[in-house]
Amino acid sequence: MKNEIQPKPPDKRSEKRILILRVIAQTAMLPFLLGMTLFIPAATLDWPLAWALMSVYVGGMFLTNLWLIAYHPGLARERLIIPRSSERWDLRLLQITNVLFLAVMLPLSGLDHRLTWSPPIPSTISLFALSLFALMFLFMVWSMSVNDYFSSAIRLQSDRGQTVATGGPYRVLRHPGYLAMIIQFLAIPVVLGSAWSMIPALAIGAVYVYRTIREDELLLGSLPEYAEYARRVRSRLIPGIW
């Protein structure tokens, strides 16, 4: 009988290094991307709230990804390297949200700041919105800590043995991560003091509501235990309402 060469198991340390390098690259690129879309239309760098928002956004993303790599490496890989098996319709929706965010909402905020289209917002309200934006990172970390299938793109993760998350915020909401992201997008125009940029923010929120509906349908048709979970937890995004 011939001795078969067994494939070597993946080197976990090497995989973590690759993920960390990917996070570092993303973190290094993000300030330039956000800065160009905000400060070029604003024609100024003297915009403290924009700098504060960028700092919280980049820092929150960086720390969340490092935490995932350290404690949930499987989920970190799922979120940082979007699998090809992701639903194509969802990838298109993600492209739409990226365009609305980077090509519409942030540049519009910059123009609004430059041309003062919107009435001034009290600094206390803007700082409250910034705090709420930061708090949503913690809410998402809480959701991820009890749901190892909290992917960036919608797909049935049968290759990872997907099960239904029922702990933490999932005791009350079926899609707490989407709620956190909607709140973040709605908080950005308030932080930046732009009433006009609330229009694309609401459009992004509508896309996330649609993603919620489509993902719910996918899980109901694919995970047998999800139907029972949906009967117990009726709310998808807003407790007691929807």
In a domain, 238, yes or no: no
Q: Name the pTM for this structure.
A: 0.91
Number of structural domains the chain divides into:
1
Please say whether the beta carbons of 155 and 85 come within 8 A.
yes
Long-range contacts of 33-39 (CB under 8 A, 24+ apart): 33/102, 34/58, 34/106, 37/102, 37/103, 37/106, 37/107, 37/110, 38/106, 38/107, 38/109, 38/110, 38/192, 39/110
Domain at 83, CATH number: 1.20.120.1630
Q: pLDDT of 111-121, one tens digit each?
A: 999 999 999 99
Q: pLDDT of 143-160, one tens digit each?
A: 999 999 999 999 989 888
Domain that holds residue 145: 12-232
Sorted by sequence, the CB contacts under 8 Å of residue 6 that are 6+ apart come out as none
The 3-state DSSP class for residue 238 equals coil
CA atoms in the 13 A half-sphere facing the CB of 126: 18
Of the chain, the percentage scoring pLDDT greater than 70 comes to 95
